C-alpha cells in the first residue's frame, strides 16, 4: 500500500493520498488549504489517478480544496450528510476568528460536481481499497472515520481519524456543531472496542495507535475508568 501524507494550510491539516501502489487509482483524504500542489506532486511522482476525495468532516481546514481537487481529477467527493451543508458554507462550522485565520482573504465556496453521502457502517470499495465508515459525531455532527485493512508489520488496520482522536488528545467540541457528550459517546462506542494494533492517522499531528491511546490518552482513560 502507498500512503503519502503531508500537512497543509495554516493549521497543518494532514492530507493523505492512498493507493494500492504506484501507477494506480488513488484516494485523497482531507484536502485542506494549500493542499492541491502537494497532491499534484504525489500524483505525478507515483503516476496516480485520484478517483475520490474523502472528507472526515466539513471543517474548512479539512475541505478547503475539495472542489478544485475533485474538479481537477474528475473525482467524487464523499461526506456525511450531517456536514454536507459545510461544503457550500464552510465558515458556518467555525468561529469568525478561525475563519479569518484559515482563509486569509475572500473566497467563494461551492459543492463539487459529484457529491455522495456516507452512512454509519458503510463499506466502500474505491481504488482497489476496502474501507469501513464509522459515523463519529462530536467534533462535528457529520464527523466520520475510515478504516482499511493493512496486514503488514503486525498492523491489522489503518484508521483515518480526522479530528476525533489525536496522539494524546481528542478533537475540540466548542466550535459550532460540536457536542462534548456525543464526542465521548463516539470514543466509547467507536474507538475503545477497536484492536490495539490499529494505526491511527489523525487529522493533525503524528500517527499513533489504538493501543497507545488506550494506555496513555487521558480522555480514553477517563472513559475506561467510568
* 107, containing H or E segment: none
- β-pair partners for 186: none
Strand 49-54's sheet: what is its strand order? 2-8, 13-19, 25-29, 49-54, 76-79, 115-117
Domains of the chain: 2-225 (3.60.15.10)
Confidence (pTM): 0.93
Q: Is 190 exposed, middle or buried (0-12, 13-18, 19+ CB in 10 A)?
A: buried
One digit per residue, pLDDT tens: the chain, 226 residues? Answer: 999 999 998 889 999 999 999 999 999 999 999 999 999 999 999 999 999 999 999 999 999 999 999 999 999 999 999 999 999 888 776 666 666 666 666 677 889 999 999 999 999 999 999 999 999 999 999 999 999 999 888 999 999 999 999 999 999 999 888 999 999 999 999 999 999 999 999 999 999 999 999 999 999 999 999 8
Amino acid at each position: 500500500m502507498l500512503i503519502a501524507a503531508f500537512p497543509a494550510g495554516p493549521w497543518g491539516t494532514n492530507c493523505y493520498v492512498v493507493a494500492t501502489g504506484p501507477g494506480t487509482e488513488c484516494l485523497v483524504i482531507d484536502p485542506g488549504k494549500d493542499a492541491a500542489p502537494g497532491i499534484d506532486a504525489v500524483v505525478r511522482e507515483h503516476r496516480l489517478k485520484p478517483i475520490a476525495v474523502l472528507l472526515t468532516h466539513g471543517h474548512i481546514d479539512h475541505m478547503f480544496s475539495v472542489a478544485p481537487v475533485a474538479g481537477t481529477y474528475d473525482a467524487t467527493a464523499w461526506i456525511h450528510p450531517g456536514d454536507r451543508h459545510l461544503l457550500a458554507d464552510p465558515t458556518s462550522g467555525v468561529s469568525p476568528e478561525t475563519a479569518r485565520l484559515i482563509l486569509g482573504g475572500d473566497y467563494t465556496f461551492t459543492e463539487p460536481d459529484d457529491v455522495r453521502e456516507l452512512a454509519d457502517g458503510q463499506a466502500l470499495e474505491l481504488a482497489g481499497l476496502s474501507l469501513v465508515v464509522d459515523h463519529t459525531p462530536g467534533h462535528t455532527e457529520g464527523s466520520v472515520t475510515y478504516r482499511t485493512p493493512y496486514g503488514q508489520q503486525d498492523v491489522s488496520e489503518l484508521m483515518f481519524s480526522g479530528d476525533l482522536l489525536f496522539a494524546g488528545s481528542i478533537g475540540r467540541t466548542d466550535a459550532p456543531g460540536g457536542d462534548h457528550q456525543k464526542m465521548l459517546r463516539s470514543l466509547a462506542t467507536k474507538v475503545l472496542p477497536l484492536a490495539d494494533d490499529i494505526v491511527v492517522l489523525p487529522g493533525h499531528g503524528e500517527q499513533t495507535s489504538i493501543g497507545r491511546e488506550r494506555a496513555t490518552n487521558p480522555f480514553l482513560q477517563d472513559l475506561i475508568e467510568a
